[in-house]
A = this chain, B = another copy of it.
Amino acid sequence: MPDQKPKMSRETLLPLMAAHVMEHGLGGASLRPLAKAAGTSDRMLIYHFGNKEQLITDLLGYIAGVYSTGLKMALGDERPASRQQCFARVLAQGRQPTMQPFMVLWWEIVAGAARGLPGYKEAAEEMIAQQLVFLETLMPEGDPDPAGGARYLLTLLEGTLMLGTVGHARMARDGLLASDLSDA
């Protein structure tokens, strides 16, 4: 006896649609596939969200929220001893296989933000801000400039991740060897 009385609302629909978008992307996300993934009809999506633009905006906000809580839970107890270790840990986390669907989605969000699509920039901003918080709390204890260091590592991290997704992971790695992160 599946889903007796769905009682659908924005809150129950968003996670299901987020899962679909995480797998199939934002660009090609149209109402009918989204509705099918959420167990409804396009008719009801419009009913609940008004129009597609608002739906996407809400969905991006929801995904940003999920990402934020996910980052907080990934925060362990042990502090890295150096900036290099800190960077390596965060980079390794971003490259985990479970993170890959999200990374693919992430670049779509960046592209949407660059093009000015509604909701994209706000979501990207929040996710970057949360990632900065994550990095700041993970900076080594005796770091002379934890705030600046976290921003530096974040910049380097994003560049490294981008080069990785376009097939230049080796280039990013070689670049790190020429940075001040090589001598720990």
Contact = CB atoms under 8 A, between A and B. Distances in A.
A120 B27 CA distance: 15
A156 B154 contact: no
A166 B110 contact: yes
A89 interface: no
A85 B166 CA distance: 27
A128 B172 contact: no
The oligomer's copy count stands at 2
Interface residues of A, number: 48
A114 B149 CA distance: 28
A121 B171 contact: no
Interface stretch (A42-50, A54-62, A67-75, A100-108): A100-108
A25 interface: yes
A57 to B, nearest CB: 16
Interface in A121-149: 121, 124-125, 128-129, 132, 145, 147-149
Interface stretch (A1-9, A10-18, A33-41, A174-182): A174-182
14 contacts: A103-B114, A108-B111, A108-B115, A113-B166, A113-B167, A114-B165, A125-B167, A149-B178, A152-B176, A155-B160, A158-B158, A159-B162, A179-B179, A179-B180
Contacts of A178: 145, 147-149, 151-152
Contact of A166 (B125, B151, B171, B177): B125
A52 interface: no
